[in-house]
Amino acid sequence: MSNITDLSKSRYCKGVQCPKILWLDAYKPEEAENVLSEQVMHNGNLVGDLARQYFGSCALVEFSYQKEQMTQQTQEYIRQGAETIAEAAFMTDGLYCAVDLLHRNGDGWDLIEVKSSTKVSKIYLEDMAFQNYVLTRCGIPVKRVFNMHLNSSYVRKGALDLQRLFTLEDCTETVRAMYDAVAERIAGIRSFISVSEEPVRDIDLHCHDPYECAYYGYCSRHLPEHSVFDLAGMFAKTKYKHYHNGIISYEDLLAHAKEIKLNAKHRRQIESVLYHRADETDCKKIREFLDTLRYPLYHLDFETYQQPVPEFDGVRPYQQIPFQYSLHIEQEDGTLEHREFLAKEGTDPRRALAEQLVQDIPQGVCSLAYNMSFEKSVISGLAEQFPDLAEALTDIHDNLHDLMIPFREQSYYSAAMQGSYSIKYVLPALYPDDPELDYHSLDAVHNGSEASAAFATMASHSPEEIAALRKALLQYCGLDTYAMVKVLRRLKEAVRNAASA
Ligand code: SF4
């Protein structure tokens, strides 16, 4: 858009979240972080392309940076009697939108907004309300407004069934009722951003909803090093309430502890940082946890990915599909053996993974995961999918223990954990600056999201790139279970040290 007050549907939605985003986009774009991932954009394009086939053939308005060209082509298709137009473009008074699908309905049109999500959200309604406003102002009779999204209960069987893959949710009444509010919003956004001096807008819940704002780092730079926003397990609403009441730093929180009913965990998190406390351990509880484990011990970790459009039979949109696992088998004397599985790219990984898993983990042995609810849900899904392997898989499921428990219960607590029991905080707290356990030093895959994205897109890479990605995935997942081995060692050391003290 050429003018800061020009609004497309995406700019309007940003302005609805917070008009300062638009001002910063214009004047300080270099301050933005967390741009949309390639994977999210890829999903959107894939779903958009399929949605165009939903009504059979459709006329596509080619993308052009010249918006007038797109609006002219749209008018041409309307004149020619097209039944369905994709990317139908309209412009009026500095407002512009390209409608995902415009479908002829008698003497008017149905406006269809396509989303790769599985339900309608508030911001989608805002988006559709803006489009309805623009089209109505352009003289297009909008008969009905639909949100077309994925149907989360669709399970693929054979060829893709587009009529069942998509759900058309009628949002006409809601969107029509928003017409006057859109006009007011547009005026409000325009007046907010038409100033050359940086407008004031304090941080609040709107910075995270509906999307994490890319400028949060910039707008929250006034916060102290340790603030109310670092407290683990406190609702965001409560954090902002304290923030707006001026209770921001750890010192503020302690000073108002009684008034704000600071709980014991938060007090511990704050005091351990302010008073530089050494690690605290409850050895009785740690010993109780260790006594539940039996050797050999199977440290297990899965990697999964999701497909918005299921490629394999028996899969729903966004179902977690396991494609990799790492297994460190630890004997009581500390001896380690490593096994792993990584599916071939572009294939349904589930059967081969399940078969190797039940071979690698014998019945009746004790397995360990970090945050086992995830591993348990993956194993249950496999047992449901493959009844012939269900008994062996259920055995693994039922013998799984959770290494997270001593940290969730704070039987072992270190200031560096910052009140969290996530392995991301626990591991560096137990092994600060240990290069062997440093995820940052890995090649291309450093976390679960990168692992999912790497596997999801792997088949489209060259053989050399595939080899490099596979190596990176094996390194990453292998480190996950090796990290568990090391975390367990720290727990054992804590008990040993207490016994010899
Ligand atoms: S961080 Fe918050 S206040 Fe700043 S631009 Fe984003 S939404 Fe607005």
How many CB atoms sit inside 10 A of residue 418's CB?
16
Q: What share of the chain in percent tops pLDDT 90?
A: 92
User: Any residues with Cβ below 6 Å from ligand 1, and which?
Assistant: 18, 20-21, 24, 201, 203, 206-207, 213, 215-216, 219
Q: Which atom of ligand 1 is nearest to the CA of 220?
A: 1
Residue closest via CA to ligand 1's atom 1 equals 216
What is the pLDDT confidence band of residue 299, given thresholds at 50, 70 and 90?
very high
Mean pLDDT for 263-286 is 95
In testing the pocket of ligand 1, which one of 213, 223, 240, 243 has its CB within 8 Å of the most ligand atoms?
213
pLDDT in tens, 311-368: 999 999 999 999 999 999 999 999 999 999 999 998 999 999 999 999 999 999 999 9
Q: Do domains 9-193 and 284-500 have the same CATH topology?
A: no
Distance from the alpha carbon of residue 446 to the mean position of ligand 1, in angstroms? 28
b or e along 467-499 (b: 16 or more beta carbons within 10 Å of the residue's beta carbon)?
A: eebbebbbbbbbbbbbbbbbbbebbeebbeeee
In testing the pocket of ligand 1, which one of 21, 192, 204 has its CB within 8 Å of the most ligand atoms?
21
Distance from the alpha carbon of residue 321 to the mean position of ligand 1, in angstroms? 35
For position 3, what pLDDT does the model report? 85
End-to-end CA distance of the chain: 70
Distance from the alpha carbon of residue 21 to the mean position of ligand 1, in angstroms? 6
Q: Does domain 9-193 have CATH number 3.30.420?
A: no
Using N-to-C axis directions, what is the helix angle for 463-500 and 448-457, rounded to 10°? 160
Residue 464: how many CA atoms within 13 Å on its side-chain side? 0
What is the pLDDT confidence band of residue 1, given thresholds at 50, 70 and 90?
very low
pLDDT in tens, 159-183: 999 999 999 999 999 999 999 999 9
Written as six digits, the tokens of 324 are 């990799």
DSSP string, 305-333: E--SS--STT--TT--EEEEEEEEEE-TT
Distance from the alpha carbon of residue 30 to the mean position of ligand 1, in angstroms? 14
Q: Which atom of ligand 1 is nearest to the CA of 20?
A: 5
Q: What is the largest CA-CA distance in the chain?
A: 88
Average pLDDT, whole number, for the chain? 95
DSSP string, 1-26: --STT-B-HHHHHHHHH-HHHHHHHH
For position 498, what pLDDT does the model report? 83
Mean pLDDT for 431-453 is 91
How many CB atoms sit inside 10 A of residue 113's CB?
25
Residue closest via CA to ligand 1's atom 7 equals 207
Residues 15 and 22 sit within 8 Å (Cβ to Cβ): yes
pLDDT in tens, 452-472: 999 999 999 999 999 999 999
Residue closest via CA to ligand 1's atom 4 equals 219
Distance from the alpha carbon of residue 231 to the mean position of ligand 1, in angstroms? 21
284-500: CATH number: 3.30.420.10
pLDDT in tens, 74-129: 999 999 999 999 999 999 999 999 999 999 999 999 999 999 999 999 999 999 99
Tell me: pLDDT of 41 over 80. no
Q: How far apart are CA 346 and CA 31, in angstroms?
A: 38
Q: Which atom of ligand 1 is nearest to the CA of 206?
A: 7
Residue closest via CA to ligand 1's atom 2 equals 207
For position 126, what pLDDT does the model report? 97
Distance from the alpha carbon of residue 215 to the mean position of ligand 1, in angstroms? 6
The CA-based angle 367-433-335, given to 5 degrees, is: 35
Q: Which atom of ligand 1 is nearest to the CA of 213?
A: 6
Say which residue the tokens 């400028």 belong to. 215
Tell me: pLDDT of 36 over 60. no
Distance from the alpha carbon of residue 191 to the mean position of ligand 1, in angstroms? 17
Query: How does DSSP classify residue 199?
Result: P
Distance from the alpha carbon of residue 484 to the mean position of ligand 1, in angstroms? 38
Residues 63 and 39 sit within 8 Å (Cβ to Cβ): no
pLDDT in tens, 180-214: 999 999 999 999 999 999 999 999 999 999 999 99
For position 42, what pLDDT does the model report? 67
Distance from the alpha carbon of residue 22 to the mean position of ligand 1, in angstroms? 10
Q: Where are the domains of the chain?
A: 9-193, 223-274, 284-500
Q: What share of the chain in percent tops pLDDT 70?
A: 98
pLDDT in tens, 283-293: 999 999 999 99
Residue 441: helix, strand or coil by DSSP?
Answer: helix
Distance from the alpha carbon of residue 206 to the mean position of ligand 1, in angstroms? 7
Parallel, antiparallel or unpaired: strands 95-105 and 108-114: antiparallel
Residue 244: helix, strand or coil by DSSP?
Answer: helix
b or e along 220-240 (b: 16 or more beta carbons within 10 Å of the residue's beta carbon)?
A: eeeeeebbbbbbeebeeeebb
Tell me: pLDDT of 44 over 80. no
Q: How far apart are CA 491 and CA 286, in angstroms?
A: 7
Distance from the alpha carbon of residue 221 to the mean position of ligand 1, in angstroms? 12
What is the pLDDT confidence band of residue 411, given thresholds at 50, 70 and 90?
very high
Quickly list H helices, 386-462. 390-398, 405-408, 423-430, 448-457
In testing the pocket of ligand 1, which one of 20, 23, 25, 244 has its CB within 8 Å of the most ligand atoms?
20
DSSP string, 270-287: HHHHHTTPPPEE-HHHHH
Parallel, antiparallel or unpaired: strands 321-330 and 297-305: antiparallel
In testing the pocket of ligand 1, which one of 35, 206, 244 has its CB within 8 Å of the most ligand atoms?
206
Give the list of residues 6+ apart from residue 468 with CB closer than 8 angstroms, or none: 443, 444
Element (H, E) at 342: strand 336-342
